[in-house]
Amino acid sequence: MAATQKTLPTNVDPHEFIAAATPEKRRVDGEALEKIFSEVTGEKPVMWGPSIVGYGTYTYVSPSNPKNTGIWPKTGFSPRKAQLSIYGLKDLPEGAALLPQLGKYTEGSGCVYVRKLEDIDLEVLRELIAIGNSRQDDPRG
């Protein structure tokens, strides 16, 4: 039996979510990321669950369980209190190859963590977002 997807698009206004981010540095960086992601993707931001601002969608198939499919944003971010979480930058081979040029970051299983935008190369970020946004639906889905 396929698992029920927990994180889905909502009707929450992403601009209000970003405006409420704390501390102030997270809000400022979140506003900058919203502008960058919107420009690069040509997509309007959509809230996914309570804390992810996502751009575009694709259908995925879980590598561990092919019966587990769902939708997910192609790229996105979350201005979390401790750091920025950025999604979709390293999932495709081209993005993984370019990622070391981003600057100062750490990696989680599905995202890249950045303390502040000044720590990374914003032109490389734009390239990574464009690569992530080129993702197609998984053909197995």
Confidence band (pLDDT; 50, 70, 90) for 140? low
Residue 1 — pLDDT band, cuts 50, 70, 90? very low
More confident residue, 63 or 127: 127
pLDDT of 68 strictly over 90? no
Q: Which of 66 and 132 is assigned the larger pLDDT?
A: 132
Q: Return the H-helix or E-strand segment holding 84.
A: strand 84-87
In a domain, 108, yes or no: yes
Q: How far is Cα 1 from Cα 3, in angstroms, rounded to an integer?
A: 7
Is residue 34 assigned to a domain? yes
Query: Containing domain of residue 35, as a range?
Result: 25-133
Query: What's the total number of domains in the chain?
Result: 1
**Residue 129 belongs to some domain of the structure:** yes
Q: Is residue 47 part of a domain?
A: yes
The mean pLDDT value for 24-39 works out to 97
45 closest CA partner among 19, 21, 20, 77: 77
pTM of the model: 0.92
